[in-house]
């Protein structure tokens, strides 16, 4: 049976010593996040996911969701009861605004809990996850009436939420949307069209589902500038909040897919459904981006979450499975063979995943902290720097953490040999579940293009210069400390590669955009390696400072892990830079007919 223990000690270490929660008392809501409260969230939340959600992970995978003739969908056995417990305990309300019944805790705290939920049961976590994206869009773009009508019950978890962008002919290129929104006399709109691949589109967990739908009004420009956002409830809501008639929206079918079987992925038919405009007409993409940025970070966390649970299982197996003898003499002479954890190649795999997970957790929490500062700080300069950071790092967290998260799940599966390939041990599910994170919320190739094409040049490169300066300052401030040199020296080499790649794009991509397109994915990963390397160095710094404490074994382990990152993972920046500098010539030389 697979196992999972929420890494509470690691989270706490990052929150306290790497991102330094206590240094941000000026940010609204941080007063609520006393060490005791944060501990309670991690401990109680960890217990909930381990005891309630994780045991349902394989159930959801095996049973999937079932659509009935009347269009209703039932989730796997136990999901409904677990969701009721989730709502009852208020886990979905942690960082939601108090005005709508939330607890207004920092986003960074709920992000820690989110990682645990995703590791325990990614398909389940997506139900409240999608609702959160919809909540974020309504908070920022909704009218007062829409907020009052929908938000309190979405925040509590009583109602679900979805995002409806994709259509059969339109995925990445949203300008191709065909769903129509015809104005009605009473100010509402009549929505008609088909959306596909809609996560949590229909299910039995909640009484109502609030769909956010992209559609085009009559005469709107035939491009992404002609898209508007609409709120379309599954069940109509009266002014007094009561539930009325069913709206003309239904689930036509559910997809049979590679992973996340426990989450219903629906074809949604809108047959003149009643909806209301959210924000301004033709500004729908702008409104949807609020939701997508939040969702992209959440998808990045899916990469980390699957990497972590796959790692924990691989460690347990590697300690237990007896095969071969250590190269340096038997380590378990009383047994028929040594456990495979003695073999350097097995260690290489485990250390690689572990080093990534520790750095990625810090990167996720650091980025979530920037979201808090960007939204809630009382200092305008701090807010701008944090927003720059968020914009720049969002495609990196989404693209890099999910690419590596999937790769790590495969590596962890490899340690099981043939036992990883059969379903019994659960490794196959982690691999299958992790795969989708590279695709949805904008395929990773698109994240790379977003980084290179939009985020880098934005505001004259201000965000990028801020990031480079921050890492450089860290290296400079600690360059004289010989205990930190094994971390700062490789980080400097990685940073040099990132600067060289950025410069190369500036000199070679404007005149020839294919150079940017051909190097974008390598650039995103180069950037990710430096960002993760920076986190790893900060972990090392914090661990060194705490080495004298009672937990010195754990601190020593963190130092070794960070050093492994510097020696074994970070040098990949040089390869990425070489590929970027090769440009687009050979990539684009062959005519399409030659393939």
Ligand X SMILES: Cc1cc2nc3c(=O)[nH]c(=O)nc-3n(C[C@H](O)[C@H](O)[C@H](O)COP(=O)(O)OP(=O)(O)OC[C@H]3O[C@@H](n4cnc5c(N)ncnc54)[C@H](O)[C@@H]3O)c2cc1C
Residues lying near ligand X in the complex (CB under 6 A)? 163-166, 171-172, 197-199, 257, 265, 436, 439-443, 445-446, 449
Q: Please, which residue, 52 or 446, has the CB nearer to ligand X?
A: 446
- The SS3 assignment for 286 reads helix
Q: Please, which residue, 152 or 445, has the CB nearer to ligand X?
A: 445
Separation between Cα atoms, residue 236 and residue 245, nearest integer Å: 6
Separation between Cα atoms, residue 267 and residue 60, nearest integer Å: 20
Q: Please, which residue, 23 or 454, has the CB nearer to ligand X?
A: 454
Q: Which of 142, 152, 150, 148 is nearest to 102 (CA)?
A: 152
Residues 290 and 249 sit within 8 Å (Cβ to Cβ): no
Task: Quote the least distance from Cβ 166 to ligand X, whole Å.
Answer: 4
Assess whether 441 carries a catalytic annotation.
yes
Task: Quote the least distance from Cβ 126 to ligand X, whole Å.
Answer: 8
Find the helix or strand (DSSP H, E) in which 25 lies.
none
Q: Please, which residue, 257 or 325, has the CB nearer to ligand X?
A: 257
Strands (E), 155-207: 159-164, 180-183, 189-199
Q: Please, which residue, 267 or 537, has the CB nearer to ligand X?
A: 267
Separation between Cα atoms, residue 184 and residue 173, nearest integer Å: 28
Task: Quote the least distance from Cβ 520 to ligand X, whole Å.
Answer: 8
Q: Please, which residue, 129 or 391, has the CB nearer to ligand X?
A: 129
Find the helix or strand (DSSP H, E) in which 92 lies.
none
Separation between Cα atoms, residue 270 and residue 234, nearest integer Å: 10
Task: Quote the least distance from Cβ 446 to ligand X, whole Å.
Answer: 5
Q: What is the DSSP string of 84-129?
A: HHHHHTTGGGTTS-GGGT-----HHHHHHHHHHHHHH-HHHHHHHH
Residues 406 and 434 sit within 8 Å (Cβ to Cβ): yes
Task: Quote the least distance from Cβ 360 to ligand X, whole Å.
Answer: 22
Residues 435 and 406 sit within 8 Å (Cβ to Cβ): yes
The one-character DSSP state at 170 is B
- Cα angle 280-281-282, degrees, rounded to a multiple of 5: 115
Options 182, 441, 470, 480, the catalytic residue: 441
Task: Quote the least distance from Cβ 467 to ligand X, whole Å.
Answer: 24
Q: Please, which residue, 109 or 131, has the CB nearer to ligand X?
A: 131
Helices (H) and strands (E) in the chain, counts: 18, 11
Give the HSE-up count for residue 83: Cα atoms under 13 Å, Cβ half-sphere.
26
Sequence-distant (≥ 6) Cβ neighbours of residue 124 within 8 angstroms: 53, 56, 57, 60, 79, 82, 83, 117, 262, 263
Q: Please, which residue, 298 or 365, has the CB nearer to ligand X?
A: 298
Find the helix or strand (DSSP H, E) in which 67 lies.
strand 66-67
Q: Please, which residue, 439 or 468, has the CB nearer to ligand X?
A: 439
Strands 243-246 and 189-199: unpaired
Task: Quote the least distance from Cβ 3 to ligand X, whole Å.
Answer: 26
Q: What is the DSSP string of 422-455?
A: SGGGSHHHHHHHHHGGGTSSS-HHHHHHIIIIII
Q: Which of 278, 169, 269, 171 is nearest to 217 (CA)?
A: 278
Separation between Cα atoms, residue 455 and residue 390, nearest integer Å: 10
Separation between Cα atoms, residue 283 and residue 293, nearest integer Å: 16
Separation between Cα atoms, residue 134 and residue 125, nearest integer Å: 15
Q: Which residue is nearest to ligand X (CB)?
A: 171
Task: Quote the least distance from Cβ 504 to ligand X, whole Å.
Answer: 20
The burial of 525, by beta-carbon neighbours within 10 Å (0-12 exposed, 13-18 middle, 19 or more buried), is given as buried
Residues 290 and 141 sit within 8 Å (Cβ to Cβ): yes
Residues marked active site are found at 441
């Amino acid at each position: 049976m697979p196992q999972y223990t929420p890494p509470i000690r690691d989270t706490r270490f990052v929150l306290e010593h790497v991102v330094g929660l206590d240094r941000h008392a000026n940010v609204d809501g941080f007063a609520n996040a006393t060490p005791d409260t944060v501990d309670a969230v991690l401990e109680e939340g960890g217990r909930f996911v381990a005891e309630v959600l994780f045991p349902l992970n394989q159930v959801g995978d095996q049973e999937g969701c079932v659509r009935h003739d009347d269009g209703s969908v039932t989730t796997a056995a136990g999901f409904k009861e677990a969701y009721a417990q989730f709502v009852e305990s208020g886990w979905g309300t942690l960082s939601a605004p108090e005005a709508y019944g939330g607890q207004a805790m920092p986003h960074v705290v709920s992000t820690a809990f989110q990682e645990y939920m995703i590791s325990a049961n990614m398909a389940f976590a997506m139900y409240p996850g999608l609702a959160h994206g919809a909540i974020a869009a309504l908070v920022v773009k909704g009218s007062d009436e829409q907020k009052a009508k929908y938000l309190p019950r979405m925040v509590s978890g009583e109602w679900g939420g979805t995002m409806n962008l994709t259509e059969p002919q339109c995925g990445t290129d949203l300008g191709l949307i065909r769903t129509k929104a015809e104005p009605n006399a009473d100010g509402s709109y009549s929505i008609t069209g088909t959306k596909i691949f809609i996560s949590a589109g229909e299910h039995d967990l909640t009484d109502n589902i609030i769909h956010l739908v992209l559609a085009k009004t009559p005469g709107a420009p035939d491009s992404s500038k002609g898209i508007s956002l609409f709120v379309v409830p599954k069940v109509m809501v009266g002014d007094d909040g009561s539930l009325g008639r069913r709206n003309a929206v239904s689930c036509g079918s559910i997809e049979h897919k590679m992973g996340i079987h426990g989450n219903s992925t629906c074809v949604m038919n809108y047959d003149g459904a009643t909806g209301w405009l959210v924000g301004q007409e033709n500004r729908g993409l702008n409104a949807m981006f609020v939701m997508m940025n939040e969702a992209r970070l959440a998808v990045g966390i899916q990469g980390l979450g699957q990497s972590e649970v796959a790692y924990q299982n691989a460690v347990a197996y590697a300690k237990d499975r007896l095969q071969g003898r250590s190269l340096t003499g038997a380590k378990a002479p009383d047994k028929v063979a040594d456990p495979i954890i003695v073999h350097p190649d097995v260690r290489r795999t485990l250390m690689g995943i572990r080093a990534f997970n520790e750095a990625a957790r810090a990167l996720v929490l650091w980025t979530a902290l920037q979201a808090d500062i960007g939204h809630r700080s009382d200092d305008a300069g701090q807010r701008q720097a944090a927003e720059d950071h968020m914009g720049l790092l969002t495609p990196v967290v989404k693209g890099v953490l999910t690419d590596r998260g999937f790769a790590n799940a495969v590596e962890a599966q490899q340690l099981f040999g043939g036992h990883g390939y059969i379903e019994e041990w659960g490794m196959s599910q982690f691999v299958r579940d992790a795969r989708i994170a590279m695709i949805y919320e904008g395929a990773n190739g698109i994240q790379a293009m977003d980084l290179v094409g939009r985020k880098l040049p934005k505001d004259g490169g201000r965000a990028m210069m801020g990031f480079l300066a921050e890492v450089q300052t860290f290296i400079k401030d600690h360059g004289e400390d010989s205990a930190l040199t094994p971390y700062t020296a490789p980080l400097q080499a990685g940073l040099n590669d990132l600067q060289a790649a950025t410069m190369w794009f500036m000199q070679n991509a404007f005149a020839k955009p294919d150079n940017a397109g051909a190097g974008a994915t390598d650039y995103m990963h180069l950037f990710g390696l430096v960002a993760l390397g920076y986190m790893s160095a900060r972990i090392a710094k914090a661990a060194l400072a705490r080495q004298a404490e009672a937990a010195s074994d754990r601190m020593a382990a963190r130092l070794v892990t960070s050093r492994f990152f510097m020696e074994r993972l970070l040098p990949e920046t040089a390869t990425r830079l070489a590929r970027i500098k090769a440009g687009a010539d050979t990539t684009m030389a062959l005519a399409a007919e030659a393939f």
